[in-house]
Amino acid sequence: MEKIGVILTVAVLILTPVGMIAADRHFASGEPADVTFTLTGVSDGGVWTEEAVVGHNYWRRTPKPARLVARAGQKVRIRLQSADVTHGFSIPDLDVGPILIEPGHVVEAVFTPEEPGEYLFQCTTRCGKCHEEMLGSLVVLGEGETLENYPGGLIKPRTKCLLHGRS
């Protein structure tokens, strides 16, 4: 009986983490994408950024607003997370969202933009005093196009939240 108990305990200690890792990989991978981006919403600066934002650097530097680049016809995966409060995410012209992002969770949007252009994305949940300026863009390049075809005039200059003068 003691040997059976030891075997069962070892099996549980080994199989439980293995099963959890396998399930995590299955659910996290979802459908394959041609290009994957990770965006973090930061309410203090009113910004969506591709930079890692964690406790030690949240207050010490200003993350750069995101400008994502994909090709028309590519399946795009955007992994969304929040550095602070609940955010919403939407790309209205591509019918993506709104998607709710709670702090501590990762939510994914998977879609395939077919038409070239620059598309504005925004926060859809009132997240703080910089909410109105929490914007970014996705540039979808057509055949033979480069970023030079899109000089980046979609996002208006910040007027309310100049990222609080931090650098």
CATH number, residue 133: 2.60.40.420
> Quick one: 104 and 141 in the same domain?
yes
How far, in Å, CA of 31 to CA of 18, rounded? 22
- Residues 112 and 76 sit within 8 Å (Cβ to Cβ): yes
Residue 57, C-beta contacts closer than 8 angstroms, at least 6 positions apart: none
Q: What is the pLDDT of residue 111?
A: 92
> Quick one: 127 and 161 in the same domain?
yes
> Quick one: 36 and 80 in the same domain?
yes
Q: What is the pLDDT of residue 79?
A: 92
Residue 156 pLDDT class (50, 70, 90 cuts): low
> Quick one: 73 and 12 in the same domain?
no
Average confidence (pLDDT) over 112-133: 81
pLDDT > 90 fraction of the chain, expressed in percent and rounded: 14
Q: What is the pLDDT of residue 16?
A: 65
Got the DSSP string for 5-32? Answer: HHHHHHHHHHHHHHHHHHHHHHHHH-S-
Residue 68 pLDDT class (50, 70, 90 cuts): confident
CA 114 to chain centre: 20
Q: What is the pLDDT of residue 112?
A: 93
> Quick one: 10 and 72 in the same domain?
no
Q: Is the pTM of this model over 0.85?
A: no
Mean pLDDT score of the chain: 76
Instruction: Name which residue leads in pLDDT, 14 or 57.
Output: 14
> Quick one: 15 and 48 in the same domain?
no
> Quick one: 76 and 158 in the same domain?
yes
Q: Which residues of 123-156 are buried (b: 16+ CB within 10 A; e: fewer)?
A: bbbebbebbebbbbbbbbbeeeeeeeebeeebee
Residue 73 pLDDT class (50, 70, 90 cuts): very high
pLDDT at 124 over 70: yes
Instruction: Name which residue leads in pLDDT, 110 or 1.
Output: 110
> Quick one: 107 and 53 in the same domain?
yes
Where do we find the tokens 């208006």?
156
Where do we find the tokens 């709104």?
98
> Quick one: 91 and 24 in the same domain?
no
The residue segments making up the domain with residue 6 are 1-30
Q: Give the DSSP H or E segment for 138.
A: strand 135-141
The total of structural domains in the chain comes to: 2
> Quick one: 10 and 77 in the same domain?
no
Average confidence (pLDDT) over 5-20: 70
Q: What is the pLDDT of residue 165?
A: 44
